[in-house]
Amino acid sequence: MPSPYRAIFAAPGTASFSVAGFLGRMPLSMMGIGIVTMISQVTGRYGLAGALSATLAMSAAVLGPQVSRMVDRYGQRRVLRPVTLVSVAAATGLLLCVQQGAPDWTLFAFTAVIGVVPSVGAMTRARWADIYEGDARSLHTAYSWESIVDEVCFIFGPIISIGLSTTWFPEAGPLLAGVFLAIGVFWLTAQRGTEPAPHPQTAEKRGSALRSPGLQVLTLAFVATGAIFGSVDVVTVAFAEESGRKAAASLVLAVYALGSCLAGAVFGLLHLKGEPSRRWLLGICAMAVSMIPLLLAGSLPLLAVALFVAGLSIAPTMVTTMALVEKHVPRTQLTEGMTWTGTGLAIGVALGSSAAGWVVDASGAESAYVVPVVSGALAVVVGVLGHRRLRRPVTDREGRDEHEDSGSGERAVA
């Protein structure tokens, strides 16, 4: 039987924009952990490192949806190139400040500007959605493929970033992340044939995609989910350092991403029936439960095994999330809608990495794994309370409000 993955690449241009998107997404896994490694190498202050990582995530959370909203209105090429140049320039400024021992406030200032970086994953997913509009099975496979690409980035990104920063010079990881971003975005935006058409008037008329109650639930749940990811990254680096093998943190985090990658590959081959909202809730619960064994891992090998198991629930949950976003957001605002889930993750990463950094400084790395455990519990609470909203999509495939189609003129707003 032909592979579903091979089938989705039959459309012209799909392979090229997928590779470009891969390069453009490498900074997602390299920049934050690279900053943590760089600052901890130079200053030894995990609190400062976590705070800078949190600043980056919060900045991306604020600026990312605005960039994506502009993309929906004006197109990817017109928006992404200038904002990428701004982000790369800010990253250069940060590295120079670290190298020269500049005051802390300069580090925060440049880190905040880096956050204008575009959500490349949302851009590639929007291209898939445009190509396979109305073909649910192909979109399921395409979104699964994108999750695999995400996890491959998280397998190799931390290895490269932490490895370069610990064996070459501290600024090497973030520096290469900026290079990947520039190459990926400019290559992606050079491919005009697969770029979704902008919708300037429609996007402006509708306002923010976050008005959708379902998207609000997904975004809020992903704040807690992001706190899991952010805290696991920071605590794992500290745990490896306390064990005398700091460079091994990249390998342990790669195992975490490998579990998600393998699960995503299998998930994309399946043709599942039933409510996506139920699968999503099960995925959130699985992620939360999988955090508990981290408290019991007393060595790096055991930690790696626990993280591999924990990773198995990530990609299927992410794939299901993208399918739910498509059901709850008008097509003319799809890029913005997908970015809002990333924004939730970014805010969570900011909170989780910051909290984890302070707990590490105060109580040590092993105790700090309580942060992802608590974060997982919060994600379950949000998922359970908001599940009913996810069962009632508010948009159809053309992006019209069902309330408008029925003539009620009302819009459900949480």
pLDDT tens-place string over residues 31-90:
887 888 888 888 777 778 878 877 887 788 788 888 888 888 888 888 999 999 999 999
Q: What's the CATH code of the domain at 223? A: 1.20.1250.20
Nearest to 341 by CA among 381, 285, 284: 284
At 184, which helix (H) or strand (E)? helix 172-189
Residues of the chain with pLDDT under 50: 1, 203, 395-414
Domain annotation covers residue 4: no
Domain annotation covers residue 410: no
pLDDT in the model for residue 319: 81
Domain annotation covers residue 409: no
Count structural domains, the chain.
1
Domain annotation covers residue 167: yes
For the entire predicted model, the pTM comes to 0.73
SS3 401: strand
Instruction: Round to whole Å and give the CA distance between 412 and 308.
Output: 40
Domain annotation covers residue 5: no
pLDDT tens-place string over residues 191-229:
888 888 877 655 455 566 667 787 888 889 989 998 998
Instruction: Round to whole Å and give the CA distance between 259 and 256.
Output: 6
pLDDT in the model for residue 285: 94
How many other C-beta atoms lie within 10 A of the C-beta of residue 298? Answer: 11
Q: What angle do CA 9, 268, 273 make, to 5 degrees?
A: 125
Domain annotation covers residue 316: yes
How many other C-beta atoms lie within 10 A of the C-beta of residue 413? Answer: 10
Please, where are the H alpha helices in 207-299? 213-242, 249-269, 276-289
Range of the domain at 114: 15-404
pLDDT in the model for residue 394: 55
Instruction: Round to whole Å and give the CA distance between 49 and 377.
Output: 26
pLDDT in the model for residue 358: 83
pLDDT in the model for residue 409: 32
String of DSSP letters for 4-72 = HHHHHTTSTTHHHHHHHHHHHHHHHHHHHHHHHHHHHHHT--HHHHHHHHHHHHHHHHHHHHHHHHHHH
Domain annotation covers residue 9: no
pLDDT in the model for residue 90: 93
Domain annotation covers residue 3: no
Q: For CA atoms 328, 332, 338, 340, give the dihedral sign.
A: negative
